[in-house]
Structure 1
Amino acid sequence: MRLTVLSVLLACSVTTAAAQIDTNRPVRRLSLAECIQMALQNNVDLEIRRYDPQIAEYELRAAYGVYDPAFSFSGQHSRDEAGSRLLGGGFSIPGSITEADRFSLGLGPGLTPWGMTYDLQGSVADSYGRSFSVDTNGFLVPLPFENSSGSAQISLTQPLLRNFWIDGPRLAIRVAKNRLQYSELALKLQVMQTITRLEQAYYDLIFARQSVEVQRMAVELAEQLVEENRKRVEVGALAPLDAKQAESQAATSRADLIAALSQLAVQENVVKQLITSNYAEWANMGLEPTGTLTAPRREFDLQESWRKGLTLRPEILQAKLDVERAGIQLKYDRNQVWPQVDLFATYGYNGSGAEFSGSLYEIERRDRPFYSFGGRVSIPLSNVSARNAVESSKATLQQAVLNVKRWERDIMRAIDDDVKQAQASYERVAATRAAREYAEEALAAEQKKLEQGKSTTFLVLQMQRDLTAARAQEIQALDAYNKALSQLSLDEGTTLERLGIDFRVE
């Protein structure tokens, strides 16, 4: 009696759980292509990673800002009053008053992409005022004055050794370009990994739903046997103790169904997490995949898969960019070992006159040129810092090269594992399908023997368990095969190409 009550309670709980999952909440039917499209639009991890190329692009543009010259302009007025002078006999002369206006403008200092610095400067000044003197008759005579001067010039400095082939700004720009490509590959990798996780989660969702159906069929078989045994007990064709075995199996099957329904709900949440940024909107919605688990035959070419992986995988391309960045740094550090040898020159025109206009006119006529040129050499005596920087960069470069080799090894090993896994899964699909068919035939035969009194309930129950296990193993093999193909595509770097997704960073 206690076992019967337990069976009734389990049946009620299974019915309630199934009703909550299948009928009390809306169900959204989704194909794999629709899920991928939603993930590309809504996946939060992708949204975060999409900012990386933008940030790298802004940093590259900022690095070019070093070539932007600065325009400057200034104006100044000054006034100076000198004290009076005392002459013999107690006679004093008032002090002079001088006022000056000065204006200057400049463009620079600026830098060119080949390391030359330039500075354009122009200035003009006008001084005016009055002073006093005493003429021969002893009278005080005011002496007003005004004069103006100005110049325009350009100064150039060109390094010949250090900072000629590469300097700090060019290093920053080349590294920023390198990191921009790196960030684009990181985004591509994130897209590929997200799609692969989604594909595998989608296949697992199909597996979870089919597992629920397998367990439901197991419950139906067990309950059918319980009903048939009950009738046999009533007519005296079966001992009551033998009937309890079937009831126990039915209770176990119901418990397995509850577990399968729970796993289905968990797997739905995995898919939801990948396709939406608003989880609350999807929390109470069921997902029904429209796809099925199939086993298309595929011919595997390990050498071709290796070639694809070694040329397309974003990780190895990123590792090669790290080698390139290390090479750029080494080139810069080697250049910094050279002495500082610079040529410099200045050329311009002077102008002067009674007023501003006179000075500007002479400058415009270019009648009074001036120039200077020369060179400077600076040689560090030991140069310890620069030489050790070179050695450090060499070691970093070698480390980056070894990292590429490590990726080559890991990629080839992963692809080899994927191919073996896919081949084994495909063969397992055929084997489990045959096992399921044999289990169906064996159960049908054993049930007929039971009806004829030539078998036992224990054997039929065993056959039912074997059939349920065979069905579960078949869909598990199909799930594993499809996931193996998805993983192989990721490790080859062909996920986007296989799905026809055009990846561009704009």
Structure 2
Amino acid sequence: MKTRWIAIWLCAGCTFAGAQEVQREVRRWSLTDCIQHSLEHNLDLRIERYNPELALFNLRSGYGAYDPVLSASGQHDYSKAGSTLLEGTFLLPGREQDVNSFRTTLSGLLPWGTLYNVTLSARDTDGIRYGVDTNLNILEFPYSDSSGAVSISVTQPLLRDFWYNPTRLRIQILKNRLKWSEHALRARMIDIVTRVELAYYDLKAAYENVKVQQMALQLSEQLLAENRKRVEVGALAPLDEKQAEADVAARRADLIAAQRNLAVLENNLKQILTDDFATWAHVRLEPLEELDAPPPILDVQDSWSKGLTLRPDFLQAQLDLEQQGIQVKINRNELYPQVDLRVGGAYSGSTPEFSGVFGDIKDRDQPSWFVGGQISYPLGNRSALNAYRASKAQYEQRLLALKKMEQNIMIEIDNAVKLAQANYERVAATREARAYAEAALEAEQKKLESGKSTSFVVLRLQRDLTAARADEISALVQYRRSLALLAQAEGSTLQRHGIDLVIK
């Protein structure tokens, strides 16, 4: 009675589980669908997309060093001098003065290290001076004086900061970092697409493995049913029935393990695909792609060429070497003495009335100019000299590291090509082994029916067939994985899937 209730509860549980399974949304997606969705929603990729944008902002900020600076100032000054005692008895008031002045300057830096400064200035003075006449009467002498000028001055480096000045070289570094960030984004995309492809085929293999285990369970249950009939008629020993029952239990355990593995691999793929796992939690994702083995087109020389022109990490290493070369130029610039040429000129005006100042400037009756130079050089200059030598040593070091990376890439690609070829050959071998296992089991089942074999042998051949089917699936998956990994080693993953990277 107890066993009966347990069976009822198990049936109810299976019915409920089946109802839950029916309620799950099923999405049958191709590999292209999964890749496209991951490129739009993968969180790692969405984070990485900001880096080129940030690098572009930094580059535009670097060009801001050439923005001219406009400044303006104005001021009013009042002053009064103290009184003066004349001949010990007569107090003469001090001078009073009001001054209004303003100054406007436009200054900036040019790409060749040129510093320029354009200035417009004006000054208006009103005041009173005091004096005495012969009768010792205090006299007031009002006065007014205005002046102004338009001037320009230019400082041009002739050695240091002329060809390699820090601002230009910093902009070159920022351009270098922008390209570096674009390659980093490409590398992230290659990584995501490769992970999707590997997870997709792993999930496909898990589905196929569940089918294999279901087929194995069906074969085992079929043999158990046949053995029970033979035991009932006395044509088979009860031990054979027990062996078949044990095998059915083992096959059920294998099927449960395969289903559990399927659920885990399904979540692995979902994790790469989406930025909102909660909406995918009750979705059943089924791969549409078939596990086939198209003949590979393998050419080591061509793969090497792709790897050394497409791989983002190698291109980034080249940019790092280029950046170090820029640093060498920056440090070499510091070895030169500072030799600057300074030239400039102005047109001035001065009149009693402020309104006449700009007329004088316009008439250019009061010109002035200057030309000169300055030179400075730290004696010994050991700091700059050793910084230059250190940067050159670092450049040579990075050059050797780049050569080592090139060699490692060639070895990695060569291994990937050989692995792909070996996995393709393995597919044919496992397919042949599976066909032989099917034929052997079929022949042995006929012998069992005629009493010329035993249940033990048939069970062993069933297990052999299950293993052969699993090996064939594994070989197919490993072959497709090896093609994906070869493309990743070449850096050609995006081209292989027809993906164009456009960075705005």
Q: Are 2:53 and 1:80 aligned?
A: no
Matched to 2:212, the amino acid is V
Q: Quick one: distance in 2 between partners of 1:8 and 1:271?
A: 36
1:96 alignment counterpart: 95
SS in structure 2 of the partner of residue 502 of structure 1: coil
How far is 1:232 from its partner? Answer: 1.1
How far is 1:14 from its partner? Answer: 11
Q: Quick one: distance in 2 between partners of 1:268 and 1:445?
A: 38
SS in structure 1 of the partner of residue 334 of structure 2: helix
Q: Quick one: distance in 1 between partners of 2:177 and 2:365?
A: 52
Contact 1:315 1:407 in 2 (8 A): no
1:225 alignment counterpart: 223
SS in structure 2 of the partner of residue 23 of structure 1: helix
Aligned to 1:340, which of 317, 338, 341?
338
Q: Quick one: distance in 2 between partners of 1:458 and 1:204?
A: 33
Q: Quick one: distance in 2 between partners of 1:22 and 1:439?
A: 34
Taking structure 2 as the reference length, the TM-score comes to 0.95
Within a 5 Å distance, the mapping from 1:345-494 to structure 2 comes to 345-494=343-492
Q: Are 2:162 and 1:139 aligned?
A: no
Q: Quick one: distance in 1 between partners of 2:16 and 2:341?
A: 86
How far is 1:13 from its partner? Answer: 11
How far is 1:89 from its partner? Answer: 7.4
Contact 1:79 1:99 in 2 (8 A): yes
SS in structure 1 of the partner of residue 49 of structure 2: helix
Contact 1:103 1:124 in 2 (8 A): yes
Q: Quick one: distance in 1 between partners of 2:396 and 2:105?
A: 47
* Cα pair distance change 1:12/1:204, threshold 3 Å: farther
Within a 5 Å distance, the mapping from 1:106-505 to structure 2 comes to 106-108=105-107, 110-505=108-503
* Cα pair distance change 1:363/1:411, threshold 3 Å: same
Q: Quick one: distance in 2 between partners of 1:247 and 1:13?
A: 24
Deviation readout 1:9-53 (Å, 9 max, x if unpaired): 9x9799579837853422211111111110111011110110110
Matched to 1:159, the amino acid is P
How far is 1:449 from its partner? Answer: 0.9
Matched to 1:23, the amino acid is V
Contact 1:14 1:257 in 2 (8 A): no
Contact 1:75 1:103 in 2 (8 A): yes
How far is 1:117 from its partner? Answer: 0.8
Q: Are 2:29 and 1:30 aligned?
A: yes
SS in structure 1 of the partner of residue 379 of structure 2: coil
* Cα pair distance change 1:256/1:48, threshold 3 Å: same
Q: Quick one: distance in 2 between partners of 1:17 and 1:182?
A: 55
More deviation in 431-440 or 397-406? Answer: 397-406
Q: Quick one: distance in 2 between partners of 1:163 and 1:144?
A: 53
* Cα pair distance change 1:18/1:208, threshold 3 Å: farther
Matched to 1:198, the amino acid is V
Matched to 2:41, the amino acid is N
Matched to 1:168, the amino acid is P
Q: Quick one: distance in 1 between partners of 2:212 and 2:152?
A: 87
Q: Give unmatched runs, 5+ long, in structure 1.
A: none
SS in structure 2 of the partner of residue 344 of structure 1: strand
Q: Quick one: distance in 2 between partners of 1:403 and 1:381?
A: 36
Contact 1:162 1:338 in 2 (8 A): yes
Taking structure 1 as the reference length, the TM-score comes to 0.95
Matched to 1:106, the amino acid is T
Contact 1:14 1:258 in 2 (8 A): no
How far is 1:78 from its partner? Answer: 0.9
Identity %: 53
How far is 1:353 from its partner? Answer: 0.7
1:43 alignment counterpart: 42
Q: Give unmatched runs, 5+ long, in structure 2.
A: none
Q: Are 2:55 and 1:56 aligned?
A: yes
How far is 1:144 from its partner? Answer: 0.9
How far is 1:85 from its partner? Answer: 2.7
Q: Quick one: distance in 2 between partners of 1:278 and 1:413?
A: 39
* Cα pair distance change 1:215/1:14, threshold 3 Å: farther
How far is 1:356 from its partner? Answer: 1.9
Deviation readout 1:208-237 (Å, 9 max, x if unpaired): 000000001111111111111111111111
Contact 1:106 1:121 in 2 (8 A): yes
SS in structure 2 of the partner of residue 80 of structure 1: strand
Runs of 4+ with deviation above 6 angstroms: 11-14
Matched to 1:312, the amino acid is L
Q: CA RMSD in A?
A: 2.1
Paired residues, what number?
501
Contact 1:21 1:286 in 2 (8 A): no
Q: Quick one: distance in 2 between partners of 1:21 and 1:400?
A: 59
Q: Quick one: distance in 1 between partners of 2:213 and 2:23?
A: 21
Deviation readout 1:25-84 (Å, 9 max, x if unpaired): 222111111111101110111101101100110110111111112111111001112233
* Cα pair distance change 1:12/1:459, threshold 3 Å: farther
Q: Quick one: distance in 2 between partners of 1:219 and 1:78?
A: 104
Contact 1:208 1:264 in 2 (8 A): yes
* Cα pair distance change 1:371/1:410, threshold 3 Å: same
Q: Quick one: distance in 1 between partners of 2:284 and 2:121?
A: 78
Q: Quick one: distance in 1 between partners of 2:434 and 2:72?
A: 89
More deviation in 355-364 or 306-315? Answer: 355-364
Q: Quick one: distance in 2 between partners of 1:8 and 1:293?
A: 39
Contact 1:17 1:261 in 2 (8 A): no
How far is 1:351 from its partner? Answer: 1.2
